[in-house]
Amino acid sequence: MSGILNKLRNLDAYPKINDDFYSRTLSGGIITIVSSILMILLFFSELELYLNALIQTKLVVDTSRGETLRINFDVTFPALPCSILSLDAMDISGERHLDIKHDIIKKRIDSHGNVIETRQDGIGAPKIEKPLQRHGGRLEHNETYCGSCYGAEATDEDCCNSCEEVREAYRKKGWGLSNPDEIDQCKREGFLQRIKDEDGEGCNVYGFLEVNKVAGNFHFAPGKSFQHAGAHVHDLLPFQKDSFNLSHHINRLAFGEYFPGVINPLDRVKWTQGTRSGMYQYFIKVVPTVYTDVNGHTIQSNQFSVTEHSRTGDLIQYVPGVFFFYDLSPIKVTSTEEHNSFLHFITNVCAIVGGVFTVSGILDSFIYHGQKAIKKKMEIDTVYSRYQLLNEIPIWGFFQFQENDFALIINDG
């Protein structure tokens, strides 16, 4: 049994040194303190990496089909009233959504940014209780009322009981409404008076759009839009203005749901119009993104990059507004949260302790032997200086040296 124990003792890779042979130095103590602090800092850094999930990112071809794209927005126009602001969306497939009101909230704000009124349907006054009789006839008791559309009716049964319905009928026909005062519904509702009352106000518009997952655009512009001779036109005549201030603040613009780490480059972007009228365009490249957290929950979202362009000039040259043109990338980004394994964490901790300990030992050895070499050289220089001095003094001064110095010189000689 003792033989086996002796064999095991011979396999010891860590031979022990007797305490009598230890030599502790000041530099060794300083290096020990510094290396201990460094090991503690590296340990907590590795622990933080272990506790927090890592994100693995891959690029794949986007093969999804038939999906929709959700656009979340929050835009403020400090100098454009809500009564004249409209939102349109269209894409390359030919689908058009004009004067969108569903899922949209508008807030009237004053010049100081304070909210005056919040409404969902947006522009226009509420319907009058007793609109005009069918096509302007006399009012009769218990008669069903039907207002005239002033030539924009598709059939004889069509009714326009509010100024907004007349404008909508004109839009469908591709006509512009030049003078609202000539429309009885608009005159009774005080359409122009409402525009004058809101002059100097601003508008905050927020909500979301559900559009086809193809290239397209959406834009904020004054006036109701319609198609005329194959062109997209906004009717600006009813407002009787020769300029519109399209200065805007983009509080938020996102394509899809939020996920950790996403950066939307248009958030908190501001543009101030310097001339009477302007058009501002954002060209957006949307990159589909799939984010999966450590619990396996998947978020279908998007990231995007953007370039900007602005134009200024007369209203005849272009439609004033803020346009967002978006296109989709064929490459999809997949991001997956993953935790490091515990064995990987232990391996890194051992590497930290062993590496710092080894490097500290090398540094301590270098400093220790360097000090010994310097000290020995200094002793040799001292002896040599005394030897030179001995050769220069007279014989009677020789015996004035101490006994130890004399012996040292003799041995050295």
pLDDT of residue 112 exceeding 90: no
The whole-model pTM stands at: 0.67
pLDDT tens-digit profile of 168-179?
A: 888 777 777 777
Quote the pLDDT of residue 218: 94
Quote the pLDDT of residue 46: 87
Quote the pLDDT of residue 142: 43
Q: Which amino acid is at 13?
A: A
Quote the pLDDT of residue 307: 94
pLDDT tens-digit profile of 43-83?
A: 998 888 888 777 888 999 998 887 889 999 999 999 888 88
Of 144, 239, 225, residue with least CA distance to 186: 239
Give CA–CA dist 248/250, Å, rounded.
6
Half-sphere exposure of 392 (CA within 13 A, CB side): 6
Q: Which helix (H) or strand (E) holds 311?
A: strand 298-312
| Contact (CB, 8 A) for 100 and 221 | no
pLDDT tens-digit profile of 397-409?
A: 444 444 444 444 4
pLDDT of residue 128 exceeding 60: no
C-alpha to C-alpha distances, 293 to 217, 227, 354, nearest whole angstrom: 32, 46, 34
Can you name the residues that pair with 73 across neighbouring β-strands?
A: 207, 253
Residue percentage of the chain with pLDDT more than 90: 22
pLDDT tens-digit profile of 7-18?
A: 777 765 556 666
Give CA–CA dist 81/123, Å, rounded.
9
Give CA–CA dist 87/220, Å, rounded.
5
pLDDT of residue 137 exceeding 50: no
Q: At 105, is the secondary structure helix, strand, or coil?
A: strand
Record the tokens describing residue 206, joined without a space: 């927020």
pLDDT of residue 6 exceeding 60: yes
Of 185, 166, 191, residue with least CA distance to 177: 166
pLDDT of residue 193 exceeding 70: yes
| Contact (CB, 8 A) for 301 and 262 | yes
Quote the pLDDT of residue 216: 94
Burial label for 340, CB within 10 Å (0-12, 13-18, 19+), is: middle
pLDDT tens-digit profile of 314-341?
A: 655 677 889 999 999 999 999 988 877 7
Quote the pLDDT of residue 151: 80
Record the tokens describing residue 293, joined without a space: 């957290």
Quote the pLDDT of residue 252: 94
pLDDT of residue 133 exceeding 60: no
Given the DSSP bridges, would you call strands 278-292 and 331-338 parallel, antiparallel or unpaired?
parallel
pLDDT tens-digit profile of 336-381?
A: 888 777 888 888 889 988 888 888 888 888 887 787 888 888 877 7
Query: Cβ of 249: how many Cβ atoms within 10 Å?
Result: 17
pLDDT of residue 284 exceeding 70: yes
Give CA–CA dist 322/75, Å, rounded.
10
**Of the candidate ranges 139-148, 269-278, 341-350, the one whose mean pLDDT is the lowest:** 139-148
Quote the pLDDT of residue 156: 76
Give CA–CA dist 54/79, Å, rounded.
46
Q: What is the 3-state secondary structure (H, E, C) of 229-268?
A: CCEEEEECHHHCCCCCCCCEEEEEEEEECCCCCCCCCCCC
Tokens 């040799």 -> residue? 380
Q: At 104, is the secondary structure helix, strand, or coil?
A: strand
Higher pLDDT, 130 or 42: 42
Distance from first CA to last CA of the chain, Å, rounded? 60
Average pLDDT on 106-134 reads 64
Can you name the residues that pair with 57 across neighbouring β-strands?
A: 335
pLDDT of residue 213 exceeding 60: yes
Whole-number mean pLDDT of the chain? 79
Give CA–CA dist 371/28, Å, rounded.
12
Quote the pLDDT of residue 306: 95
Give CA–CA dist 356/359, Å, rounded.
5
Quote the pLDDT of residue 13: 57
Residue percentage of the chain with pLDDT more than 70: 79
C-alpha to C-alpha distances, 257 to 41, 72, 105, 251, nearest whole angstrom: 37, 8, 19, 16
Quote the pLDDT of residue 387: 66
Quote the pLDDT of residue 102: 85
pLDDT tens-digit profile of 72-99?
A: 999 999 988 888 888 999 999 888 888 8
